[in-house]
Amino acid sequence: MSAAEVQLGVVLLCHDRLDLAARMARIWAEGGAPVVVHVDARVAACDHEAMVQALKDQPLVQFSPRRACNWGRFDLVQATQEASRQLLDQQPAVSHVYLASGSCLPLRPVAELTDYLRCHPGRDHIESVAVEDALWAMGGLNEERFTRYFPFDWRHQRWRFDRFLDLQRWLGIQRRLPAGLVPHLGSQWWCLTRHTLDAILSDPDRAAHDRFFRLAWIPDEGYFQTLARKHSPEIESRSLTLARFDLKGKPYLLYDDHRQLLEASGAFVARKVWPGATGLMDHFPKASAAGTSGRHPDPRGIDQLFAQAAERRARGRPGLRSQGRFPNKGSENQRTAAPYALFQGFDAVIPGFEDWLAGQLDADVHGHLFHPDRAEFAGRPDVGPGALSSNPTLRDYHPEAFLASLIRSGSRMQVFQHGPGDDPGPNWFIAGDANARLSVLTGAWVVPLFRAALPLVEVRRTAALLQRAEIEQTAILTSPSTRAQVQTWDLADFVARPEAILAEALGQVDPVISRSQRPLPPIPDLSGLGDFLQRLRNAGLRPALTGSFPPTDASTEEGPTP
């Protein structure tokens, strides 16, 4: 075949918005491509007549006999066959046939497409993927499209469709493909050479093929894709029409704001255009910039856009609860948006720990966010990040939302102090969150009591409350459902090796920083604590979480001086 012989012809399938379809037909015809239009028989006669009238001045536009087309049925293939036959017979010069719909918008001039085809005049551009390898959309019906009978309409006879399929599965019915065919699937929009199309249409076994595909499922994505494999000398398995589908098998629509991405894609034809996207229709087809008219389609940009949308719809943003996302338990994909850290007990032992920590970490270091009196945001403002109120009533109304919002709105890592005296509301939430990093110093709440000048009765009562709270907390953190990273030390351990424990705790939050040198915070003297604990014991309370502090000798027996 010599290069000069390439002449494009178009089969245009239309089933609604004929005004739009007429516009598309005009673009093709004015680009020099003969068009055969098929209009679904269910379109109102007046609309059809209006389209015929609108295209009367276009000698290159012909209409094929109308046929009612049901989605997913063989009617659509028949309409394509008839229109193709008509095009091939009436336009002997046509060397390539492009199958498009009334909502397929040519993005580049017909001449550029013709030039592109001229590079490989014998090549068929049809996406055609072997069924066993294809992971096509639509609820997993891949191979079964060809191996079962589908006499019922999926849209209007769904119940019978499903039951009949179940029955066949139960009976183990397997259809056999006509000899010589290997089942292939692909986009229904293709561009075939006259040679291949003619061979498909005048195949001596065509009656058998048609009989088979008449009861196959969505044959418009399989008929030509399978038969091209039989007849084509050279297949380029990629559709020249940019068409993308979402996870439910619905086509993504194209709008005016997609203009730049479409232009950059270099695709020749794109669908499906929203009928109101007049900006797109006025803009395209658009000739490529000088010197780039031979560029190949590269739709990465717009593909990325659609992939992002699909990802957003399928998985959402981690840690987000919003009016459009309220995941069931187990579907959350993280309870919070980013890692965060809790330090429990350190600030009770080390005065000024919060400020020291803020100097160590590249993070927002808060005080006790769940303090009973107020949420202690870093710097103690009344309103914290995300306009969260420091009011404890408001916070405790939904502590999980409070914490998740804070973590979502911070640009840096969020770090805060926690303890048994704080609101226990969020404890289960935190323990079950893989983003939480907890460094817990158990029994540390003893230290402020030890330093405070309070009557022993009161100390004992407070100690009992705090101890019970911390035991409950520890039970939560050690429950099997815990997903947080938890490191626990007791107070005695900390007193024995404070540097090492601080390094471990910080290492969990920021592995880089733990290796660098830093001045340690001043660690106060805790001598006399053993004696204090003994006095608590003597008062009837058994401190269980502090680790072992032997009672000291008689020299410090008087305990802390007020």
Partner 1 sequence: MAPSPVSSAFRTTYDRLKRRGERQYALMRALRRGRRLRALEDRSRQIAPADILVFTTLRNERPRLPYFLDYYRRMGVGHFLMVDNDSQDGSADYLALQPDVSVWRTSDSYKASRFGMDWINDLLRRYGSGHWCLTVDPDEFLIYPHHDTRPLRALTDWLDASGARSFPAMLLDTYPRGPIEHAICAEGQDPLDLANWFDPANYTIRKNSYYGNLWIQGGPRARCFFADSPKNSPALNKIPLVKWHWRQAYVSSTHTLLPRGLNMVYAQDGGEMASGCLLHAKFLSSLTQKSAEELDRRQHYAGSKEYRAYHARLGESSSLWCEESRQFTDWRQLVDMGLISPGNWA
Tell me the window of 121-129, 319-327, 431-439, 457-465 that interacts with partner 1 (CB under 8 A): 319-327
Q: Phi first, then psi: what are they for 256, rounded to 5°?
A: -55, -35
Within residues 254-273, the interface with partner 1 by CB under 8 A covers 255-257
- Per CB under 8 A, 320 contacts partner 1: yes
Closest CA to 505 of 400, 497, 543: 497
Q: Which residues contact 283 (CB under 8 A, 6 or more apart)?
A: 259
Using rule CB under 8 A, residue 411 touches partner 1: no
Single out the residue of 264, 397, 468, 524 in contact with partner 1 (rule: CB under 8 A).
397
CB 72 to partner 1: min, Å: 16
Nearer to partner 1, 92 or 324 (CB): 324
Q: Considering only 33-41, 112-120, 211-219, 300-308, which stretch makes contact with partner 1 by CB under 8 A?
A: 300-308
- Please report, as a single letter, which amino acid is at residue 381: P
Q: Which helix or strand (DSSP H or E) is residue 49 part of?
A: helix 45-54
For partner 1, which is the closer residue by CB, 194 or 395? Answer: 395
Q: Rule CB under 8 A: is residue 160 a binding residue for partner 1?
A: no
Is residue 9 within 8 Å of 34, Cβ to Cβ? yes
Cross-strand partners of 273: 254
User: What string of DSSP letters covers 505-520?
Assistant: HHHHH-TTGGGS--PP
Q: Tell me if 326 contacts partner 1 by CB under 8 A.
A: yes
Site stretch for partner 1 (CB under 8 A), options 306-314, 422-430, 480-488, 494-502: 306-314
* Interface with partner 1, residue 508, by CB under 8 A: no
Give the Å distances, CA to CA, from 320 to 307, 326, 331, 388: 20, 8, 12, 16
Question: Any idea of the CA torsion for 126, 131, 132, 137, to the nearest 10 degrees?
Answer: 100
Judged by CB under 8 A, the stretch of 41-49, 326-334, 339-347, 493-501 that binds partner 1 is 326-334
Q: Does 394 sit near partner 1 (CB under 8 A)?
A: yes
**Contact window for partner 1 (CB under 8 A) among 134-142, 350-358, 365-373, 401-409:** 401-409
The single residue among 93, 119, 173, 314 that binds partner 1, judged by CB under 8 A, is 314
Which uninterrupted H or E stretch holds 96?
Answer: strand 96-101
C-beta of 224 vs 370, nearer to partner 1: 370
Nearer to partner 1, 75 or 332 (CB): 332
Selected binder of partner 1 within 156, 160, 313, 497 (CB under 8 A): 313
Strands (E), 339-389: 340-344, 363-368, 383-384, 388-389
Tell me the C-alpha distance between 264 and 340, whole Å. Answer: 41
Q: How far is CA 254 from CA 37, 103, 296, 449, in A?
A: 23, 10, 21, 67
Q: Check binding of 331 to partner 1 (CB under 8 A).
A: yes
Q: Which residues bind partner 1 (CB under 8 A)?
A: 246-248, 250, 252-253, 255-257, 274-277, 305-306, 308-310, 312-317, 320-328, 331-333, 381-389, 391, 393-394, 397-398, 401-402, 405-406, 408-409
